Amino acid sequence: MPYQRYNRRELIGKSLQILTGVALLSPTLSIARKLDIRDLSFFHTHTGQELDVTYSIAGRYDLTALKKVNHHLRDFRTLEMHPIDTNLLDILYRIKDQAGGGVFEVISGYRSPKTNSMLRGKSNGVAKRSLHMKGMAIDVRLSGIRINDLRDIARSVQGGGVGYYPKSDFVHLDTGRVRTW
C-alpha cells in the first residue's frame, strides 16, 4: 500500500474517526458512562435494608432518589434523617466504578448528635464534631473487595478523608479535606 500524506485538517478528521470507532467498540465505555448515569447499591448492616438507586443522570441529581438515600442512611438508632452530601455519593460512585461494581455495606451513615455523643462515651475513636452528623461521612465495606483494597481505591480517589479500621472491618469515607488515618 503506498504511503499517503494528509494535511492537518485531514489528519485531525481521520484521528477523530478512529477515536470514535474505538470509543464505540470499547467495552469499558458503557452507555451509562456516556450518559453519566450514576447509581449505587447499599445494604445496611444494622437494618437489613437494601437500596439500589440511580441518583444522578447527566449531572442532574434526582431529588426523589436523594430522599431514598437520606432515608436509607438515616441514624438507625434514633430514626432521624439528614440530607446526605451529594459529594459523598459521588465519591462512593467513583470508588464503585474503580472497583468494578459492588454493593456498599453500610455500618454507619448519618448520626444524630445524640447517637454521636453516646458512641463517643463508648469509644475514643469517635470525633466530637464528626462529619457523620452533617451527612458528610459514611463507614462502609464493598462487597467482593478486601477492606485494604477498598482503602487503597478510596485513597486514590482523593475525594476526602479515608480512615482504615481493619479490626472493625470497615473504611470511613468523608467529604472533608483529603487526609488518611
Q: Rounded to two decimals, what is the model's pTM?
A: 0.80
* Total of domains in the chain: 1
Lowest mean pLDDT among 26-40, 47-61, 166-180: 26-40
Mean pLDDT of the chain: 88
Q: Residue 127 falls within a domain, yes or no?
A: yes
Domain limits at 158?
Answer: 30-180
CATH code at position 133: 3.30.1380.10
What is the spatial distance between Cα 154 and Cα 123, in angstroms, rounded to a whole number? 24
What is the spatial distance between Cα 177 and Cα 116, in angstroms, rounded to a whole number? 21
How sure is the predictor about 163, in pLDDT bands with cuts at 50, 70 and 90?
A: very high
**pLDDT tens per residue, range 50-67:** 999 999 999 999 999 999
Q: How many residues does the chain have?
A: 181
